Structures are given as C-alpha cells and as structure tokens.
Chain A
Amino acid sequence: MWIYETKLHYPVKIKNPNPKLAGVIISQLGGPDGETGAALRYLNQRYTMPSAEAIGVLTDIGSEELGHQEMVAAILYQLTKGLTPAEIKAGGFDKYFVDHTLGIYPTSAAGMPYTAASMQSKGDAVADLMEDLAADAAIPQAQSLSKDRRKPLRNKDFSYLGKRRNFYHLAIT
C-alpha cells in the first residue's frame, strides 16, 4: 500500500500564471502517455511479472509516477491560480474552464478525458514492458513542445536493448 509524504518529489514554484501553457501541459497529467497513464500501467502490470526484479521495478517506478502526477497537478494549479475570465479566454483555456473551472481534471490537451483504453496490461511480460517503452518514449515528444526541445526517441535509439541481456533477463527470468 502507499504512504503519503507531504512534499513534492521536486519543488514547483511557478512565477507567473499562464493558461496557454496549462492547456498543453494538461496532457502530461491526463493524456494517453501522461503520468496518470504511467502510474496505472506500472502498478497494474506488476502483478503478473515473472521475476522479483521486474515486480520491484514496476512497483517502485509506478509509485514514483504517482509523485510525478502530483507535480504536474501542482504545475497546473499554480499556472491557473487567480486567473480572470478574460485571461482564461485569451489563453484558450475557456473550453476546459467551462467544464472544470480551475479544478484539476485529468484530460488530454485535445479534451479527451484520461482513459485506460490508452494503456494495456496483458499479463505477458515482454508485451507489457514494450507497452511501457511506447508510453514513456512518447513523453519526450510531448516535452518537445516546451522550451526544453528534447528530441523524440526513434526506434534506432532502442537498438541497444537488443544487445543488452538485462532487458530480456528482466522479462523472462
């Protein structure tokens, strides 16, 4: 089970509210590859993993993702605190606001509420770990919209996995 520590994993101190940025970052909370999805994937896939190491990794990463979810929610809370209706409209945040006001609701930037339909837990270790790679590798793509323009990962970036026994070792031991 889980213990809550009343601190963020990493501090969040937003200087200026910004509804336009909030409208994009919301996907990191409730989008298909956001932190909610990451936590639910790892924490649900761990039960059927075939090795103690894999169960440990998924349990601990999944728990950490809950902490990430909290950080993203804190970012959204601070980005939208005290906004006036005019600022909300000007920032394109009005479509979210009409259904949620300034409440934190896990949805994608395009307005699709978080759904487990965007994740999979198949009880097959290799399939599940590949699912995790697909989701986590997509995060750099989302991050490239922000100032930190990290390159999205491509298939060739994963070629090292074929050479490393450890990855399959985790799945098939």
Chain B
Amino acid sequence: MDKMNKDALLQRIQELSFAKTELELFLDAAPDNKQALDYFHKTLDALIAAKEEYEANYGPITTAGVSRSRWNWIDGPWPWQREGDMPDPDTPLNCRGTRD
C-alpha cells in the first residue's frame, strides 16, 4: 500500500475508529451476534494497522506510541488546533494570560 499522507491517514483512522465505536455499542446490546463480532474484529485489525503506520511516521496517538528518544506526546498540534496554533514558549504571556 502506498504511504498515505498524514491527513488522509488520520481521516482513515477516524473513519475506522468511528465504525468500531458503533460496533461496540451494537454488540453491547447484541453480544451473541457473530456477524457483528466478525465485522468488529475486521475493523479493529484495519484500525490497528492504520494506527501503527501513523505512529511510525507522524507521531503518537496514545502515550503507548511515544518515541523512545524524546517525549513527543506534547508536540502539537493538539486535536482541536490548526497548524501554527501551538503557543510559542518564547513569547511572553500578556496580562490576560495568553500569548496573542
């Protein structure tokens, strides 16, 4: 498989994770449904593979995926931020406690 770019891969992870969540909720109320269980595991396998590829190339998704050489968990952007939103520690705080 060609290496997807970061945004496309993250979107794929979000899609698979969304499907997995829906299957979890369905199976909670229908635990004996074999077809749903098989589909859950198929989705989970694809999700794990996508997460491994993302963490190998772009950064951790959980702290279990943190680099061995530095604590890259806190690198931005965080999920609610856009590129360039991370506060610059060299800019002093203003009187409102922000840096803008």
Contact = CB atoms under 8 A, between A and B. Distances in A.
A70 B82 contact: no
A57 B14 contact: no
Contacts of A53: 28-29, 31
Counting contact residues on chain B (CB < 8 A from A), the size range is 20 to 34
Contacts of B98: 101-102
A159 interface: no
Contacts of B17: 5, 7, 9
Nearest to B11: A11
A97 B25 CA distance: 38
A61 B25 contact: yes
Interface string B44-82: 000000000000000111100000000001000011111
B29 A6 contact: no
Given A60-B24, A77-B80, A7 B31 contact: no
A163 to B, nearest CB: 16
Interface in B1-57: 10-11, 13-14, 17-18, 21, 24-25, 28-29, 31
B59 to A, nearest CB: 8
Contacts of A90: none
Nearest to A61: B25
A78 B85 CA distance: 10
B11 A9 contact: no
A64 interface: yes
Given A70-B80, A166-B29, A5 B62 contact: yes
A10 B79 contact: no
A10 B14 CA distance: 6
A42 B60 CA distance: 29
A64 B21 contact: yes
A84 to B, nearest CB: 11
Given A57-B29, A60-B24, A7 B10 contact: yes
Interface of A: 3-13, 52-53, 56-57, 60-61, 64, 70, 73-74, 77-78, 81-82, 101-102, 166, 170
20 contacts: A6-B60, A6-B78, A7-B13, A9-B17, A13-B82, A53-B29, A60-B21, A60-B24, A60-B28, A64-B25, A70-B79, A73-B80, A77-B80, A77-B81, A78-B82, A82-B100, A101-B98, A102-B98, A166-B29, A170-B29
